[in-house]
Amino acid sequence: MTNPRHARDTQRGRYYDDPAGGPPLVSVTNVLDTAVAKKALIPWAVKLTVEYVLANLPAITLRLVTEHTAVVKKIKAVHREVKERAADLGDRIHKAAEQRLLGAPIARDLEVMPYITQLELWLDAWGVDLDKHIEATEITCVHRRLGYAGTADLMIWLPTGPGRALELWLIDFKTSATRPAKSVYPENTLQLAALRYCETVLLPDDTDAPMPRIAKAGVLNLRASSHALVPMPADRDAHRAFRGALETTRWLHAAPSSYTALLPSAARPSRKAAS
């Protein structure tokens, strides 16, 4: 996960501070993490755990007798460690991609460079001129009336209209070391719709500007040896679905973490006394 300006982590997930002085704004990814089930994560975690155990079975068997607790703890942490490494790589790729789009120098990172090469191939294939076609990168999008905010990876003009007319795209980068370049998740549509229908963007000096009118939205999947731009139907219907998830998130964030158990009243007469 990247670290946008004005964003901060809380016990209830990520929120954005409003430079205009309004109440905190829940982040789009926080809403999706809280209210949208990630069904694919459970089988993924099970698969990683099973593969680790099978690959290390002799060593695990030897250690179980004397280090049972430590071994169990390690096995339980396998999927979290893999997820954290993937998230760290994704953050570095996002940062390098932003630098590339801004024409700034990129730190040498052998893990990251294959993904940036794919970004460059994509830019070349679409004939992108960085000075003319990049509308914004890593820009904070705000919907104060609904109380949420998020960061758009890229707004870019692409020749996808009638007669190859330029249209403004809202694009989110997704990275993976294992998933095919054309694969997406349904919640990607909700994320893009939430950003697309924000009312305001924050400029570098923290002043407001109207949200640009987005023609199309999609996910740009960057892989080490491939890439694909996948259009997503981030329309008003998807935004209504996101708003439902937003209400669920608000309720869950406001709900108590525990409730008082109901105990029998001390004054309640016994059956024998009542008769």
CA angle at residue 222 from 7 to 29, to 5 degrees? 25
pTM for the model: 0.86
pLDDT (tens, 9 = 90+) of the chain, 275 residues, equals: 567 888 999 999 999 999 999 999 999 999 999 998 776 667 767 887 888 888 888 888 888 888 888 888 888 888 888 778 888 899 999 999 999 999 999 988 999 999 999 999 999 999 999 999 999 999 999 999 999 999 999 999 999 999 999 999 999 999 998 889 999 999 999 999 999 999 999 999 999 999 999 999 999 999 999 999 999 999 999 999 999 999 999 999 999 888 899 988 765 665 665 55
pLDDT the model gives residue 250 = 96
pLDDT the model gives residue 272 = 61
Distance (Å, rounded) from C-alpha 202 to C-alpha 242?
21
DSSP 129: -
Helices (H) and strands (E) in the chain, counts: 9, 10
pLDDT the model gives residue 2 = 65
Tokens of 218: 């999609």
pLDDT the model gives residue 266 = 60
Q: Report whether 119 contacts 99 (CB < 8 A).
A: no
pLDDT the model gives residue 41 = 66
pLDDT the model gives residue 274 = 54
| C-alpha distance from residue 273 to each of 107, 113, 215, 263 (Å) | 82, 81, 76, 20
Distance (Å, rounded) from C-alpha 1 to C-alpha 33?
12
Instruction: Provide CB contacts within 8 A for 28, sequence distance 6+.
Output: 148, 149, 150, 191, 194, 195, 242
pLDDT the model gives residue 267 = 56
pLDDT the model gives residue 118 = 97
pLDDT the model gives residue 243 = 98
Distance (Å, rounded) from C-alpha 211 to C-alpha 141?
7
